[in-house]
Structure formats: C-alpha cells, structure tokens
Structure 1
Amino acid sequence: MSEPLFRQDAYLREAAGRVTGLSEEGGVILDATVFYPTSGGQPGDSGMLEWEGGRLAIATAQKGPGETIVLMPEGAGALPPVGTQVHQRLDWDRRHRHMRVHTALHLLSVVIPLPVTGGQIGAEKGRLDFMMPEPPADPAAIEAALNALIARDLPVSDDWISDAELAANPGLVKTMSVKPPVGQGRVRLVRIGSGSDQVDLQPCGGTHVARTGEIGHIALGKIENKGKQNRRVNILLAD
C-alpha cells in the first residue's frame, strides 16, 4: 500500500519516499506519498519527484490496485527504479486552491440544504449539482450567506466512525452520486465548526483548509439548468 501522508497532514508539502513499484502505464508507486489521488471530485495532485541523478515532473496522481497511489509523469522520461529513495514535492499553490474550493463546497451544501447529485473541484472554481427543480429566488443571498460562513473562521477537523455507525446515520451523506467508501471498517468525517458552532458534518476523503477564513472571498457563478430536477451552482475563488 501507499501510506496517504496527506490524510495525516493536508499541509505537508514535501516528504521522502521509496519506490515500491512501477505501473504498466508508466506511473510510480511509493511506500508513502503527499500526492492526493483523483477521487470524490477532487483532482489528483501534481508536483515533482527528485532522486540522485534524476527528477520527474508529476502531472497527476490516481488510485492504483489495492491501497496504492500511482504518480503519473507529465511526459516521457526515465523512471526511478524500484527501491530508489526519492524526494517528493507538491505543486502547493494548486493543492491549496483545491483545499479552499473543497471546503467552500461543503459550506455551499450548508447554505443550500438540498440533496447533492454531483460535484467537481478545480483550482479556480468548483461546482455542486443539487436536486433543485426551480432556480433559487435570490442568488445574491446565497453568495452573502456563503461568505458569512467563511468569515466566521470556523475550524475544520476530521474524525472517524465505523461503517455500522454510518449506516445508522444515513443523514450524514449529502452526496447522492458519490457514496462514502465502506467495507474497510471505518469512514472519515469532515467537521466544520465545533460544539454549538458546528455547521456541517459529512463523510469525505479529500483535503481541506484548517479554518474557513483561509478560503477567502467566494463569488457565486452561473446557476445552470441540468434537467428537470437538477441545477448546477458554480463558485469562484476571488484570488
């Protein structure tokens, strides 16, 4: 398996690693990695691998067989042999923007308390699809409410519950299109706020900022009609 270092510390930008395998598609598998793999609407991380006598630009990361994470090169180049000690470094600006957008989307699901049918995270913007037959009456009020939550600078933390506890609390799952991974005995929850100030709690395996104030100002983008029952709500980072 590849130990997911990003799960322990989403702010870890660099780390050492050892090559444990090479995929048939030309990817690199490490024993432990800071690179988040594409999943749950969040893109895989990009960055760089360096080792004695070589370096390799990483375009993205993806889930591999079992519990492995495969780092996919940006282009052709020599791969580090199995057993090589490498230094891995994230494109931190891109990852941090993903974290800001991801946390903002969790808050958007608070402001619009409707079932979520899809979502996507980017470095400049993100979107959630809602089961929303009619368009919102006041988009400006949605933007104001979202930025008010951000401005409260609420702490963002995680916790774990068992598969059985999740099954007993189906209301925790907001996203209809992506179900939380079960079968491993436990599921990660992301909490925004704490105690009486808690505003959100839902299963999520992605990376998030430590406090909502770190997101910065969010602008509401287009609200698109995606069928009889669905509306797509776009948000944009201000900087």
Structure 2
Amino acid sequence: MSSHLYRSDPYQREAPGRVVAHTDEGGVIVEPALFYPKGGGQPGDSGWLEWDGKRLPIATAVKGEDGQSSVLVPAEPAALPPKGAHVVQVLDWERRHRHMRVHTALHLLSVVIPLPVTGGQIGAGTGRLDFMMPEPPSDPGALERALNDLVDRDLPVGEDWITEADLEANPELIKTLSVKPPRGSGMVRLVWIGQGRDQVDLQPCGGTHVARTGEIGAVSFRKIENKGKQNRRVSITLDS
C-alpha cells in the first residue's frame, strides 16, 4: 500500500519516482504511484512526467495486469522515459481535486438516498449514482437540501482497514451492487465520513476523497432519470 501515493496522500500534487516498466501498449509504470488508475467509477488521473529536460503529457492512468500497479497512458505517441529513469510526476491537480469533491459528494448522496446503488460515475465537476428506486422521489428539493446540509457540517473524512473476512461478515457495508470492493491483498479499505456519533457513512472504497465535507462546496441536482423498471439515475453537479 505504501507505493500508492494517491491513496496515502491524495493532496500530493507532484512526486519523484522511478520508471520500473513499460507495457506492450506503450504505457509507463512509475513507482511510487502518484496517478490514480481508473476504477470504481472514478477516471484515471492526467498530468505529465518530467525527466532530463523532457516532458511527457499523460492522458490517463489505468490499472496494470496485476490489478495493483498504475499504468500511465501518454496523451500521444512520444519517446518514453527509459526503464530505471528518475522522473517527476505532476498531476493535473484541478481535475483530480474536482474528482475528489464529486466522489465524496456521491458518498453523501448515498446517505440521503439510503437505497442500493446499482452504478455510478465520477467526472470533473459532475457525477451520478444509479439507485434501485422503483418510484421517483416525492421531493427532490428536500434531498438536495439534505445533501448540502451534510456538506455544510464540514465532517471529517478518513479511512480504516479491515480484513476481507471481516467484510464478508458485514456485507451491509457494501452499498454499491455493481462495483466490488478492491480485494486481493487480504485487507479492504473503508472510507468513513464523520466520527463517533457524527459518523454518517462507512463503506468500502478505493478512490480519492477530500479531507472534510465542507471542501466539496455547494451541490445541485441536475436531473433524475428513469433507467429501467427498478432503477433511477440521480445526477449532481458542483456549483463552482
């Protein structure tokens, strides 16, 4: 876990690293990994690598074949830093931070709409969750106000780890039916919002989040769509 800088410190904007591998598809693997690899509905990070006076734009990051490494995908065909090269990883921070704000807001959305989640997607300023919701909500405005009330409480956000066996024994922690919690290491990361009596959410998640809900800012409902007999899609947007 220590090689995943995006997880240990999601606020780190740049970091030194070393190229440990190239992929057959033209990707680059740098350790320790600063770029979040696409997964769980959250896009991969973008930015660039710098080395020896050169700069390589990175369009996105994806998971490697091992399911653990972060493979950096160049924005266009270009010479790659050689294996063993020491590089500086630099994030498109504004984009990453908006992903963090939206991702945390979606956790809060699952609190104000306490129904099973069947899908979701995170963007740089917008996001959505699909709920097992046969009937539309009677008062969307009340749900939007409840969401913003949780944001305004400026609750702390953090993580704990449990064993995979503990998760199996507590399946109610899993809210998202379509996305399985990241497993394979024997431990599962739990993201909590609020502590003690003020805890409002606790669920497995491998993504990046803000440190306090107040950092999300005001959120608006964009639309609620019918996505089948049992499903409705609730889309939100950051107001700024």
User: Structure 2-normalised TM-score?
Assistant: 0.98
Alignment of 1:158-177 (within 5 A): 158-177=159-178
1:53 & 1:152 partners in 2: Cα distance? Answer: 46
**Residue 33 of structure 1: SS of its match in structure 2?**
coil
* Shift of residue 183, structure 1, vs aligned partner: 3.1
State whether residues 154 and 192 of structure 1, in contact with CA within 8 Å, keep that contact through their aligned partners in structure 2: yes
State whether residues 29 and 72 of structure 2, in contact with CA within 8 Å, keep that contact through their aligned partners in structure 1: yes
**Residue 38 of structure 2: SS of its match in structure 1?**
coil
State whether residues 61 and 72 of structure 1, in contact with CA within 8 Å, keep that contact through their aligned partners in structure 2: yes
1:53 & 1:208 partners in 2: Cα distance? Answer: 33
Q: Which residue identity does 2:42 align to in structure 1? A: Q
Q: Percent identity?
A: 69
State whether residues 2 and 29 of structure 1, in contact with CA within 8 Å, keep that contact through their aligned partners in structure 2: no
1:158 & 1:184 partners in 2: Cα distance? Answer: 16
Pair 1:74 & 2:75 matched: yes
Kindly provide the CA deviation profile for residues 84-123 of structure 1, in whole angstroms up to 9, marking residues without a partner as x: 0000100000000000000000000000000000000000
Kindly provide the CA deviation profile for residues 124-162 of structure 1, in whole angstroms up to 9, marking residues without a partner as x: 200000000000000100100000000000000000000
- Superposition CA RMSD, Å: 1.1
- Superposition misfits of 4+ residues, deviation over 3 angstroms: none
> Which residue of the partner structure matches residue 9 of structure 2?
9
> Which residue of the partner structure matches residue 88 of structure 1?
89
> Which residue of the partner structure matches residue 192 of structure 2?
191
Query: Which of 66-75 and 207-216 deviates more?
Result: 66-75
Q: Which residue identity does 2:199 align to in structure 1? A: Q
> Which residue of the partner structure matches residue 209 of structure 1?
210
Q: Which residue identity does 1:77 align to in structure 2? A: A
State whether residues 2 and 68 of structure 1, in contact with CA within 8 Å, keep that contact through their aligned partners in structure 2: no
Aligned residues: 239
1:2 & 1:48 partners in 2: Cα distance? Answer: 22
> Which residue of the partner structure matches residue 115 of structure 2?
114
2:18 & 2:183 partners in 1: Cα distance? Answer: 29
1:238 & 1:103 partners in 2: Cα distance? Answer: 15
Q: Which residue identity does 1:89 align to in structure 2? A: V
State whether residues 144 and 220 of structure 2, in contact with CA within 8 Å, keep that contact through their aligned partners in structure 1: yes
* Shift of residue 77, structure 1, vs aligned partner: 1.1
Pair 1:65 & 2:73 matched: no
State whether residues 193 and 200 of structure 1, in contact with CA within 8 Å, keep that contact through their aligned partners in structure 2: yes
> Which residue of the partner structure matches residue 228 of structure 2?
227
State whether residues 172 and 202 of structure 1, in contact with CA within 8 Å, keep that contact through their aligned partners in structure 2: yes
Structure 1: gaps spanning 5 or more residues: none
2:232 & 2:91 partners in 1: Cα distance? Answer: 34
**Residue 3 of structure 1: SS of its match in structure 2?**
coil
2:117 & 2:228 partners in 1: Cα distance? Answer: 14
Pair 1:54 & 2:54 matched: yes
Structure 2: gaps spanning 5 or more residues: none
Pair 1:150 & 2:151 matched: yes
State whether residues 222 and 236 of structure 2, in contact with CA within 8 Å, keep that contact through their aligned partners in structure 1: yes
* Shift of residue 76, structure 1, vs aligned partner: 1.5
2:21 & 2:53 partners in 1: Cα distance? Answer: 19
Pair 1:104 & 2:77 matched: no
State whether residues 118 and 176 of structure 1, in contact with CA within 8 Å, keep that contact through their aligned partners in structure 2: yes
* Shift of residue 184, structure 1, vs aligned partner: 1.8
Q: Which residue identity does 1:226 align to in structure 2? A: K
Q: Which residue identity does 2:134 align to in structure 1? A: P
